[in-house]
Structure 1
Amino acid sequence: MALFRKKRGTDDTIKNGAQLITVADPRSAISEQFRTIRTNINFMSVDKEIHTLAFTSANISEGKSTVTANVAITYAQAGRKTLLIDGDLRRPTLHSTFNVKNNTGLTTVLTSEADEINLNDVVEESGIENLSILTSGPIPPNPAELIGSRRMETFIELVKSHYDMVIIDLPPVLEVSDTQELASHLDGVVLVVRQSVTQKAGITRAVQMLKFAKARVLGYVMNDIRAENGGYGYGYGYGYGYGYGYGAEKKKGLFGRKKSDGQ
């Protein structure tokens, strides 16, 4: 099936937003996979609680914005007060996904000289219970400097005190330096990998760069998995070589289960 499928380098998500399958069909097999991703991330918080979480990818058009939005929705659906932030200041998508204006947003916060930030001025309701959104705001000339600024760190600390979960859609690691600038200040980072598109060398390099930045890499999400029956879904894993633990078992489906037709 063609759900979420797109060619590398397209601007489809930027123009039309991410597909919110967890809202459109919360009982579907794909929505269940997003809930499984949430559960596996929660398992990683045994020793250190995760309140600030980012999703990134090695390159563009690997599905990170779709994964980010849908995982955030599953947290909200589980009763967690969640803030979803568009931290991709070069290729923002959140405003298109939720059909809101992007006149103000994260860049408004980061470029303001005000000593205090009123979240009500920039954060919007998503229309989904427990989920608030902060769009990117106008695209700035210096996104890496803004994302890596002390003001960004201060803002993250502020929203942590108002929300149970803060989830950020960050730019691809190999494309720009923004993600490295912020990653070490978050409780965890998840890498989104697109099967048959993301190259092994790119994944290895992305993980190296995140670890060099002292980010806590929780694992990876492999999307666009196609089983022999034409199914489509998401896996979650903890390894970075080809083999990919859970995510790449194409014949058995995700997590060793046989997938039904049309997933």
Structure 2
Amino acid sequence: MLIVQDNPKSPISEAYRTLRTNIQFSNFDDDMSTVLVTSSGPGEGKSTTAANLALSMAETGKRILLIDCDLRKPSLHKKFNISNNKGLSNLLIGQHKFADVAQRYNESLYILTSGTIPPNPSEMLASKKMQSFLDEAKKTFDFIILDTPPVIAVTDAQLLSTMVGGVLLVIAAGQAEIGAAQKAKELLEHVKANIIGVILNKAEAGGGKNYGYYHYYYGEGPKGKKK
């Protein structure tokens, strides 16, 4: 759900803007122009988070690149209703140039879909070509967001985390097991990934009302009690 686009005045959209602001403030002394979004397991909302974060970043007028690095089960092209005939994988094997595969979604946001599903996703993402591509993209874009597979399922997120400035770990409330979340954190720390934040997704507060979500995000539960 692209709530930042479909319902920009909602409390949840404001929560994404607050996430955007927090990332921007963490950028003043480090290279945080590239951020990877992942989760411990499937279905926790990492792709939705990456998509809405990209939309909120684009609202600032800066040039944003959103990359679907899930070369196994890509989904960003479905969320934005765009083509996935060619994308990142086709770029990395030299089949197409960046200008041929990047799709301009709005004035500030560009999307690079996954492209053709390759037989060797991990090797492709860990390649020097991937690192070189990101280095070149940083010269053109103000901020780059990578949507990656879950950490525990495959090594892709770990491999890519060494190429970016920061990592956001999405955890679904009531869905992700505590042990799995801890394992995901340990796997990322094992490769010295810079985990800049953990996003609690699918959390209900205040009886499921939107404003309950809003207060929960800012550290308050029902009746203003701190969580």
Give the aligned partner of residue 183 of structure 1: 161
Secondary structure class of the residue paired with 2:31: coil
The question of 1:75 aligning with 2:57 is answered yes
Which residue pairs with 1:121 in the alignment?
A: 100
Deviations 1:23-80 (A, max 9, x none): 1111111100000111111222232031111100000000000000000111100111
Distance, in Å, in 2 between the alignment partners of 1:162 and 1:123 is 13
* Structure 1 vs Structure 2 CA RMSD: 2.0
Partner secondary structure for residue 107 of structure 1: helix
Q: Is the counterpart of residue 153 in structure 1 residue 131 in structure 2?
A: yes
* Structure 2 counterpart of 1:121, one-letter code: D
Give a deviation string over 1:170-227, Cα, whole Å, max 9, x none: 1100000111111111001100010011111111111111111121110111111101
Where structure 2 has 5 or more consecutive residues not aligned to the other structure, the ranges are: none
Q: What is the match of residue 256 of structure 1? A: 219
- Percent same amino acid among aligned pairs? 39
TM alignment of 1:17-36, pairs within 5 A: 19-36=1-18
Amino acid of the structure 2 residue aligned with 1:96: K
TM-score (ref. length: structure 1): 0.80
Deviations 1:78-137 (A, max 9, x none): 111000000001110111112222111000011127xxx7321110111x2200000000
**2:212 touches 2:222 (CA, 8 Å); kept in 1?**
no
Of the structure 1 ranges 40-49 and 161-170, higher mean CA displacement relative to structure 2 is found in 40-49
Residue number in structure 1 paired with 2:145 = 167
Question: How many residues are paired up?
Answer: 223
Distance in 1 of aligned mates of 2:140 and 2:98: 10
Correspondence for 1:195: 173
Change (3 A) 1:176 1:233: farther
> Any conservation in 2 of the 1:84–1:131 contact (CA below 8 Å)?
yes
Is 2:92–2:124's contact at 8 Å kept on the other side of the alignment? yes
Aligned to 1:238: none
Cα distance in 2 for residues equivalent to 1:259 and 1:79: 35
Q: Match for residue 208 of structure 1?
A: 186
Residue 256 of structure 1, CA deviation: 3.0
- Give the number of the structure whose residues are more often helix, by fraction: 2
Indicate conservation of the 8 Å contact 2:171/2:200, yes or no. yes
Distance 2:210 2:170 in 1: 15
**In the alignment, residue 39 of structure 1 is paired with which amino acid?**
T
CA distance in 1, matches of 2:211, 2:19: 11
Q: Is the 8 A contact 1:226 1:233 kept in 2?
A: no
2:88 to 103, 106, 124: 106
1:11 is matched with which residue?
none
Shift of 1:20: 0.5
Secondary structure of the residue that 2:57 maps to in structure 1?
helix
Secondary structure of 1:54's counterpart equals: strand
Instruction: Please give the secondary structure, in 2, of the residue aligned with 1:56.
Output: strand
- In 2: Cα distance, 1:102 partner to 1:253 partner: 36
Corresponding letter in the other structure for 1:87: C
1:59 to 2:41 alignment: yes
Letter in 2 for 1:62: E
Q: For 2:22 and 2:87, how far apart are their aligned partners in 1?
A: 30
